[in-house]
Amino acid sequence: MWNHLGVTTTESHDPDAGATSSDRHSDKATIGVPHPEADGGQAVEPVIYDCTEWSGESRRLFASLLEMAGLGSAWQGTEVTVFSTDVELVDDMVAQVLSTARSAIDPDAPSIVYEIGEWPDALQNEFAAQLTISEVAYIWNADGDIVVNESDEELVEEVIEMLPDAESFDNVDGLEVQGLLNEAFMLADRLSSKPEDSTALEQLARIATELSQVSTPFGFDQRDWETLVANVESAADADAELSHKSRAKAAKSLRGLLRNYI
């Protein structure tokens, strides 16, 4: 993982409140990573936005806004981590999402809870995406499970039957993926100036292998993810007969691509 500058407890951010909760912190320790715009390469602390109570539609809109703005983010279940320097922009996006939000299910109708908390993150996201495609209203509860109206049970069961087996998904979460991308960025930066660095090339090849085994993370278009992984694999190919100049050029191109995701 990232050669980190320090492990910190991330600050939790409640999207519904629209302000940082100074008296409430996540119990997950995550790595403080340098933001591309940080002065002097200093670590910029991550901030977690808990979107558990949002509808799937609202979370998808939020993810799209983050992506369109080019802000570094990493989803883990129903929580998204951003850089603290971007909080003001992200708060504006939260306000935009909340202004269009609507109740995801009928609160007065009988409901059913689907306990999916133990599923791999990628499978949870696929389930939610398929419910949206099937126009089934749902919410995530505080336990990370999906709640639907009882009247939609038959449709939900049809969606579940179409899902792949859990064993076909990896268990790499959003924060781990973000860490791999951060490390790949730093290695690409090293190779762009020192293409003869065999150690950096070996480390990038390891990351390429790990990324190739990851299902498309939440917030990524499948084609974009496949293109990104292919670029990492290409830049890390030690068997390719490239001159130092060509390898440096490939690494520089990869660094530019990765900058969009960190």
**What is the rounded radius of gyration, in angstroms, for the C-alpha atoms of the chain?**
20
The encoded tokens of residue 54 equal 């949002």
pLDDT of residue 169: 59
**Whole-Å CA distances, 90 to 65, 178, 219:** 9, 18, 15
pLDDT of residue 99: 74
pTM exceeds 0.75, yes or no: no
Instruction: Classify each residue of 149-165 as buried b or exposed e, where b means 16 or more C-beta atoms within 10 Å of its C-beta.
Output: beebeeebeebeeeeee
At 36-52, the pLDDT tens digits run: 454 455 556 788 888 87
**Whole-Å CA distances, 242 to 133, 201, 234:** 45, 13, 11
CA atoms of 91 and 188, how far apart (whole Å)? 32
| Average pLDDT value for residue range 88-107 | 80
Q: How far is CA 182 from the centre of its chain?
A: 12
φ, ψ for residue 237 (rounded to 5)? -75, 100
User: In the 8-state DSSP scheme, what is residue 165?
Assistant: P
| Average pLDDT value for residue range 146-150 | 92
Please, which residues have CB within 8 angstroms of residue 56's CB and are 6 or more apart in sequence?
104, 128, 129, 131, 132, 138, 139, 140
Asked if 173 contacts 141 with a C-beta cutoff of 8 angstroms, the reply is no
Asked if 147 contacts 139 with a C-beta cutoff of 8 angstroms, the reply is yes
pLDDT score of 125 more than 90: no
pLDDT of residue 203: 92
pLDDT of residue 112: 94
CA atoms of 210 and 72, how far apart (whole Å)? 20
The encoded tokens of residue 45 equal 């602390």
Neighbours of 246 (CB within 10 A): 12
